[in-house]
Amino acid sequence: MLAGQLEGRALQADAEALLVAVFCRSLDTYCASLTLAMDGYGTQAQMLNRSLFEDMVDAHWIATDPDAAIERYEQHAEHTTMLLADVVRKYTDIWSDVEIPQLDDARRKELDALYGPYGTAPWSKLNIYDRVAAIEHMWPDEATRRQLHLYRDLAQRDNNQMLHLSSSSLRATLAWPRPRGRIEFQVGPRTDRVDVALFGIFWTFAQTVGLMIDRFGCTMDDDERAALFSMRAFVTLTDEQMRDTGRNESCPCDSGLKFKRCHGA
């Protein structure tokens, strides 16, 4: 559906091409992460969710500061070329016939200062805290901004711990605490962490899709938007709450919507 929307409207600025590129990348990551999670590889899906969250944040950052995004994109591409030239210079036996372009030392220093001599800084030059601070105004109210912060502070931290070798990622492999005198290692598909991964996949990608819908046009009323993109989609009500809540009462999930427009729909 969204692909159809995008086809219908020409891109109006270079930054929009960047935005769509990030979205296409995210769509593939979303599908890949979903496949892993559904196959029982929740931890590996979380590793992809880290990228999904970074892309979601970057997409919002491109939308909120398109001129800076284009500038950084071009600077970063230039710096990447310089770093690749370093590699060619280091391994001349492999690439003896590659001609290295003449590089401007002053420019190199300038770009090293932005992205680090080994290119370790993000292409936007902003860490995740600065990027979230730059985009948080795009979430409409305090409650949804809190979701964004909570995801970064908790879920993304967990995603990071799974991606890198950490006590958490090791603990996920080593069954712990173990019965005395016995060590167990977990290998192969399993159900734990699948729910965590699925939550990350859906919540994060919903934020990116919401941005694209806003940007490229798709009419939704406030209730539909709230129903689709809020955390309440992940709240399960008890049988009693479902039975005892009137259709016109506020939904017990705290979405702020009437029950009939929320869990009672």
Question: d(Cα 201, Cα 49) in Å, to the nearest integer?
Answer: 6
Nearer to Zn ion, 125 or 260 (CB): 260
Nearer to Zn ion, 135 or 251 (CB): 251
Q: Which of 131, 193, 261, 263 binds Zn ion (CB under 5 A)?
A: 263
Q: How far is the CB of 263 from Zn ion (least distance, A)?
A: 4
Cβ neighbours of residue 76 closer than 8 Å, sequence gap 6 or more? 115, 123
Nearer to Zn ion, 111 or 257 (CB): 257
Nearer to Zn ion, 169 or 255 (CB): 255
Q: What single DSSP character describes residue 247?
A: T
> Rounded to whole angstroms, what are the CA distances from 212 to 8, 136, 176, 216?
13, 16, 42, 6
Q: How many residues bind Zn ion (CB under 5 A)?
A: 6
Cβ neighbours of residue 193 closer than 8 Å, sequence gap 6 or more? 42, 43, 45, 46, 172
245 binds Zn ion (CB under 5 A): no
CB under 5 A: which stretch of 112-120, 209-217, 221-229, 245-253 binds Zn ion?
A: 245-253
262 binds Zn ion (CB under 5 A): yes
Q: How far is the CB of 139 from Zn ion (least distance, A)?
A: 19
CB under 5 A: which stretch of 14-22, 51-59, 123-131, 248-256 binds Zn ion?
A: 248-256
Residue written as tokens 């080593």?
174
Nearer to Zn ion, 215 or 232 (CB): 232
- Cα-only R_g, the chain: 23
Q: Which of residues 4-23 bind Zn ion (CB under 5 A)?
A: none
Strand partners, 174: 185
CB under 5 A: which stretch of 58-66, 104-112, 135-143, 243-251 binds Zn ion?
A: 243-251
CB under 5 A: which stretch of 18-26, 182-190, 202-210, 251-259 binds Zn ion?
A: 251-259
Helices (H), the chain: 2-7, 14-38, 42-64, 66-90, 105-115, 128-135, 142-150, 157-163, 167-173, 194-216, 222-229, 239-244
Nearer to Zn ion, 53 or 229 (CB): 229
> Rounded to whole angstroms, what are the CA distances from 179 to 91, 167, 174, 182, 183?
51, 19, 12, 6, 8
Strand partners, 184: 175
Q: How far is the CB of 254 from Zn ion (least distance, A)?
A: 8
CB under 5 A: which stretch of 49-57, 92-100, 118-126, 246-254 binds Zn ion?
A: 246-254
Question: d(Cα 80, Cα 13) in Å, to the nearest integer?
Answer: 24
Q: Which of 251, 258, 260, 261 binds Zn ion (CB under 5 A)?
A: 251
227 binds Zn ion (CB under 5 A): no
Cβ neighbours of residue 90 closer than 8 Å, sequence gap 6 or more? none
Nearer to Zn ion, 162 or 226 (CB): 226
Residue numbers at the binding site for Zn ion (CB under 5 A): 232, 251, 253, 255, 262-263
